[in-house]
Amino acid sequence: MQTIDNSKPVMVTGATGYVAGRLVEKLLSEGLTVHAAVRSPDNKEKTKYLDALAEKLPGSIKYFKTDLMEPGSYNEAMAGCEVVYHTASPFAMQVKDAQKDMVDPALKGTRNVLESVNKTDSVKRVVVTSSCVAIYGDAKDTLAYPNQEMTEEIWNTTSTLDHQPYSLSKTLAEKEAWKMAGEQDRWRLVTINPSFVLGPGINPYASSESYNIMKQIGKGDFKMGAPAFNIGCVDVRDLAVAHFNAGTFPDAEGRHIASGTNSSFGELASIIKNKFPNYPIGTRKLPKFMIWLMAPSVGMTRKSISLNVGYPWKANNSKSIEKLKMNYRPLNETVEEFFGSLVDAGVIEKK
């Protein structure tokens, strides 16, 4: 048991990100003081969505300029906080230099944040946003898991700098967090391992990879049909609750798969087709060889197609339901509201 005092401020790294936006909203709605650790506190285009929330919700927000690659840059933002939410990490499927642009900020960034935690006596709890990709590398890997499903006991052992570097970055960062947590006994680490995050963000113009699938479907990339990509999905607003409960529940501990539904690209496309029938969306499954051929033109490797398309994707979310009291909303609500929010904002052309 570990009691958390909600009158103390909390720090959120990467507060201007997609996932963090809804987390900050949840924290502000609970009346907390949020220390928003961001790269560009003076960029009003990025902070205005958080400012608008702080104006209408009971909590308050204070910005701090930080960077994952700068040792000590989180010290000031963390002072006086009991809970640290570490969400910042590069999330992109294509980068020039996987080591420099993805692995270094994820791994060294986590190390920097946790070194500051080690120096800040007030911190009792650290919630790290990891990922299901720290559990599995490719869908084919899951065939070897008990019941062919992901659980909190499993770790990704197959991603490399050349193959699924984002997954490698998340795996190395989470492992480092557990290593550093194990070297002390003042603060407790809790991780949230989300599947693919969907649902309306506070900023419809955000750049997270989560937006791309909606934009692709909106501009007709699936008009011939959808690849047989199975994925798990979690609503960004449910994910905020998972983080908040991981940060405040006295007995929260360990890893937590945060995933509402085991789904597929085809199901996402069908949900959108039913609700928004004017968009050109095909419902047949595209043959794997066709996707394999097209892969490089859409920024994917043929190896990732070979190891993922047509394989099952199953995650066991029972720990998050039991321990974090998660009540995941239905996928169609998430997808319809997400797509609709992007149409309303003009990010996806109205039809």
**Is residue 293 at the binding interface for ligand NDP, with CB under 6 A as the rule?**
no
Give least dist CB 94 to ligand NDP, A.
Answer: 13
- Point out which span in 84-92, 135-143, 177-185, 320-328 binds ligand NDP (CB under 6 A): 84-92
Residue with tokens 């007709």: 220
**Is residue 39 at the binding interface for ligand NDP, with CB under 6 A as the rule?**
yes
Tell me the helices (H) and strands (E) count for the chain, helix number first: 13, 12
Give least dist CB 264 to ligand NDP, A.
Answer: 15
CA angle 44, 50, 53 (to 5 degrees): 130
**Is residue 242 at the binding interface for ligand NDP, with CB under 6 A as the rule?**
no
**Is residue 91 at the binding interface for ligand NDP, with CB under 6 A as the rule?**
yes
Give least dist CB 236 to ligand NDP, A.
Answer: 8
**Is residue 206 at the binding interface for ligand NDP, with CB under 6 A as the rule?**
yes
**Is residue 203 at the binding interface for ligand NDP, with CB under 6 A as the rule?**
no
**Is residue 170 at the binding interface for ligand NDP, with CB under 6 A as the rule?**
yes
**Is residue 197 at the binding interface for ligand NDP, with CB under 6 A as the rule?**
yes
- Amino acid present at 205: Y
Q: Which two tokens stand for residue 10?
A: 């909390």
- Point out which span in 64-72, 111-119, 175-183, 332-340 binds ligand NDP (CB under 6 A): 64-72
CB 260 within 8 A of CB 234: yes
CA angle 273, 17, 38 (to 5 degrees): 170
Report the candidate in 189, 198, 217 with the shortest Cα–Cα distance to residue 123: 189
Helices (H), the chain: 18-29, 44-56, 75-78, 98, 104-119, 165-182, 210-218, 236-248, 265-275, 288-294, 302-308, 318-323, 331-344
Please identify the residue of the shown chain whose CB is closest to the bound ligand NDP.
17
**Is residue 18 at the binding interface for ligand NDP, with CB under 6 A as the rule?**
yes
Tell me the C-alpha distance between 28 and 56, whole Å. 9
Q: Residues interacting with ligand NDP, by CB under 6 A?
A: 14, 16-20, 38-40, 46, 67-69, 87-91, 105, 129, 131, 170, 194, 196-197, 206-210
